[in-house]
Amino acid sequence: MKRTIASATAIALLLGATAASAANIGTANERPDLLPVNAAPLAQQDITAGSIFSTKELARRGLSAGDTVSVTELPSGGISTRLGRG
């Protein structure tokens, strides 16, 4: 009786260890690799303040409609081309 229980316990432990090691295949890394970022650099443009600000906003900023302001052009989505290194 003792031999049967000992054998059953040993088999259960071996099968449990095998199942646990099989479950970890492919997930050994704790941190996943970072995904590559394909982003185009931001472009700056100089435009007149009156084309983007209202009269109220121009007064708050102390600008006239003919003043030139520098703005950053953000990509609007879609496929961006990768410029620069790489």
Strand pairing of 43-48 and 68-73? Answer: antiparallel
pLDDT tens readout for residues 6-21: 887 878 777 676 655 5
pLDDT score at 86: 46
Structure token pair of residue 4:
């049967």
Q: Is residue 31 part of a domain?
A: no
Burial of 58 (0-12, 13-18, 19+ CB in 10 A): middle
Model pLDDT, residue 59: 94
d(CA 30, CA 23): 14
Q: Does some domain include residue 81? A: no
pLDDT digits (tens, 9 = 90+) for 30-59: 666 676 666 677 888 899 999 999 999 999
Domain hosting 63: range is 42-74
User: Is residue 24 one of the residues assigned to a domain?
Assistant: no
Domain assignment present for 17: no
- pTM to 2 decimal places: 0.41
Look at residue 63 and tell me if it is in a domain: yes
Task: Provide the number of structural domains found in the chain.
Answer: 1
